[in-house]
Amino acid sequence: MSRVWLILLLLVNVLFFALLRWGALLAEVPDVLLAQAELNAEKITLLDTTALRLQAESEAASAAAVSAQDARAEIVAAPASRLSPELAAPPRAARCLAWGEFSGENLARINAALEALQLGDRLQRRTVEYAGGYWVYMPPQKNIDGVNKKIDQLRKLGVNDYFVVQEAGEWLHAISLGVFRTEQAARNFLEVLKTKGVRTAKVGERQSKLKFTVFEMGGIDAATEEKLHQMQRDFPDSELKSADCN
């Protein structure tokens, strides 16, 4: 029995000595673990929320810029047929036009037609003179009664523009129905009178000075110019052309 106690006492002493010798080592962190922690320290980073937000905003702005650039490239590459009229061609600048020459009945008609466009100060009138030209007329009547009779006939046929020659000479009591710069224009007007029933009118050369009116128009846009060209069809002997803007 004493031998058993002796063995137990010996074991206790051994354990006590072991604790005194190696107990501190058991309480410490192994050097291997400390070395591993030191080696991985640089991999540990703290998250900066402000930096992350700025990075996200920068990436979004870059994406928007790329999208805008792609959209511009698509417009440049698109054929003209796919573009709107405003993008396909720039608006045309206003133009200046001259329309002439008018006299007699045609002058009255064109005055009424242009008033409907309400051009205001954009419309100006200019008078031109020629030493000679052509006229459509009814031969001189024997007396004033004959003149009045012819005038009544003309009015019934719808011809209200005329001029009675009252100067002494071979043309006294002749009735002028219109004066023209060219013979062809005079003959064209004569054909119009014939369709109205005028039978005795003639075309002749006129040696006296003839006055005509030319209309000058400034600041005319494309829509108004188109209307003017349509109106010109009713005046085939006139000329509508571009003019210098003063």
pLDDT on residue 101: 87
In-domain check, residue 4: no
What CA–CA distances, in Å, run from 148 to 55, 136, 138, 177, 199? 100, 18, 13, 15, 17
Please give the radius of gyration of the chain, using alpha carbons only, rounded to the nearest integer: 54
Domain for residue 138, yes or no? yes
What is the residue type of 84? S
Residue 122 lies in a domain: yes
Of the residues 90, 105, 125, the one at which a domain ends: 90
pLDDT beyond 70 at 203: yes
Q: Mean pLDDT across the stretch 47-72?
A: 57
Does residue 104 sit in the same domain as residue 148?
A: yes
Specify the amino acid at residue 38.
E
Which is more confidently placed, 162 or 74? 162
**Number of domains forming the structure of the chain:** 2
What's the token pair of residue 194? 């014939």
Same domain? For 144 and 179 the reply is: yes
Classify residue 237 by burial, with Cβ atoms within 10 Å: 0-12, 13-18, 19+.
middle
55, 113: one domain: no
- Mean pLDDT, residues 12-20: 67
Report pLDDT for 75.
47
Q: How many beta carbons lie within 10 A of that of residue 135, not counting itself?
A: 23
pTM across the whole model: 0.49
Same structural domain for residues 54 and 117?
no
Give me the domain span that covers residue 54: 44-90
Strand (E) or helix (H) holding 204: strand 202-206
Stretch 103-108: mean pLDDT: 83
Helix (H, G, I), strand (E, B) or coil at 59: helix
Last residue of a domain, one of 53, 75, 90: 90
Tell me if 13 is assigned to some domain. no
Q: Rounded distance, CA 88 to CA 29, Å? A: 80
Residue 215 within a domain: yes
What pLDDT was estimated at residue 209?
Answer: 78
The answer to the question of residue 32 being in a domain is no
At 135, is the pLDDT very low, low, confident or very high (cuts 50, 70, 90)? very high
| 51 pLDDT higher than 50 | yes
Q: What is the largest CA-CA distance in the chain?
A: 186
